[in-house]
Amino acid sequence: MFIAMNQFTVIPERAADFETLWRTRESHLQGLKGFVQFSLLRGDEPGDYLSHTIWESREDFIAWTASDAFRQAHAARTPDGILAGHPRARFYEAVIVESGSRSPA
Amino acid sequence: MFIAMNQFTVIPERAADFETLWRTRESHLQGLKGFVQFSLLRGDEPGDYLSHTIWESREDFIAWTASDAFRQAHAARTPDGILAGHPRARFYEAVIVESGSRSPA
């Protein structure tokens, strides 16, 4: 399991606009090899957001970044006045995974 | 969906010891209401680790922190000389969730 996170610092007054941008975009993720789950996460700290994508492997993530689906999903940049700084990407490999009886939803 | 993350900065030379501590501990998470998945994630930056726990809701997470299972899982502190600083906890609510055809594994 591989997780790619991108941390966004959003101007708190523009949080609703930021969420709308994500709700209305096409992710182009369905059907991609190794795609497990995408989520947009809102942190308890105002303006703290993570895009959080789970892949079966790092190789699946890398293949996605080289794909047309990636280019299509990233064609539209965030309008000015919403972000307080540059997003910060971080990448993680799972060392231990323990699942409960239910799937994430 | 609610995600609790705890970020650990591990002295890179002690990373193997840190992973062994997690591999050999009892999580006491199975069967808890709302528990979806625990993972220990190793970041690409040396010494960057996240404990990453997915719950169905914030309420389920809060109930866990007040439980005997929580006290049992946190009874043993990390030995000296492994962490380079205090862990940093962060909490996230899912705004959007899009799942692929497979579950995380």
Domain boundaries, chain A: 2-93
Is B92 in contact with A44 (Cβ distance < 8 A)?
yes
3-state secondary structure of A60: helix
CB contact under 8 Å between A42 and B104, yes or no, is: no
Burial of B61 (0-12, 13-18, 19+ CB in 10 A): buried
Residue B102 confidence class, pLDDT cut points 50, 70, 90 = low
pLDDT digits (tens, 9 = 90+) for B36-61: 999 999 999 999 999 999 999 999 99
Q: What's the whole-model pTM score?
A: 0.90
Could you list the beta-strand ranges (E) of A13-87. 35-43, 48-55
Beta-carbon neighbour count of residue A83 at 10 Å?
18
Mean pLDDT value across residues B67-86: 86
Residue B91 has φ and ψ, to the nearest 5°, of -130, 140
CB B55 within 8 A of CB B2: yes
Q: Closest by alpha carbon to A100, among B103, B63, B72, B76? A: B103
Q: Output the CA–CA distances (angstroms, integers) from residue B42 to A69, A70, A96, B22, in the order listed.
A: 27, 24, 9, 12
- In tens, the pLDDT along A21-78 reads 999 988 889 889 999 999 999 999 999 999 999 999 999 999 999 988 888 878 777 8
CB-nearest to B96 from A22, A45, A102 is A22
Answer whether A100 sits within 8 Å of B35, measured CB to CB. Answer: yes
What is the second-level CATH architecture of the domain B2-93?
Answer: 2-Layer Sandwich (3.30)
User: Chain B interface, mutation test: which of A48, A95, A101, most B Cβ atoms within 10 Å?
Assistant: A95
**Per-residue confidence (pLDDT) for residue A1, from 0 to 100:** 96
pLDDT classification of A102: cutoffs 50, 70, 90: low
Set of chain A residues whose Cβ sits within 8 Å of the Cβ of B94: 39-42
